[in-house]
Amino acid sequence: MSLREKRIRFTRNLGRLLLYAELAGICVAVDEVKRSKAQAQANAAAGVGIKDSLHVLGLAVDLDLYESNGRWMDGKLPIDRDTYKKLADYWLTLDPDNAWGGSWGDLRHYSLSHGGVR
């Protein structure tokens, strides 16, 4: 499968995830999708990412979730993790290549695996 086809699959899955969040009453904002190679390398050097990030290919999204009062769910409260995981549980049903960063501590990261990278 070509990268183009995977990017289309990823975008289709993201649309479904955003609709699911809305229907579940979860306030969500799209943060970063595409990242330059230079930014990925800088993140890796700073220890906050990997140089082969799927963001460089446009196959990952970082989402910000908010409570209805506007509080950003930064992952420090159990309800935060539960809410990110609720989206992840749905995300993982959409495509066998979908992965969730919560598996390695990055709650906001939802991706479609490519070349062995999640």
Cβ 58 vs Cβ 7: under 8 Å = yes
Question: How many alpha carbons fall within 13 Å on the CB side of residue 76?
Answer: 3
| Helix (H) and strand (E) counts in the chain | 3, 4
Residue nearest to Zn ion (CB): 109
Q: Out of 40, 62, 63, 98, which residue is the one contacting Zn ion (CB under 5 A)?
A: 62
Output the six-digit token pair for 34: 């595409």
Q: Which one, 64 or 67, has the nearer CB to Zn ion?
A: 64
Binding mask 77-116 for Zn ion (x = CB under 5 A): --------------------------------x-------
Cβ 88 vs Cβ 102: under 8 Å = yes
Using CB under 5 A as the binding rule, whether residue 6 contacts Zn ion is answered as no
Q: Which one, 109 or 118, has the nearer CB to Zn ion?
A: 109
Residues of the shown chain interacting with Zn ion in the complex, contacts defined by CB under 5 A: 60, 62, 109
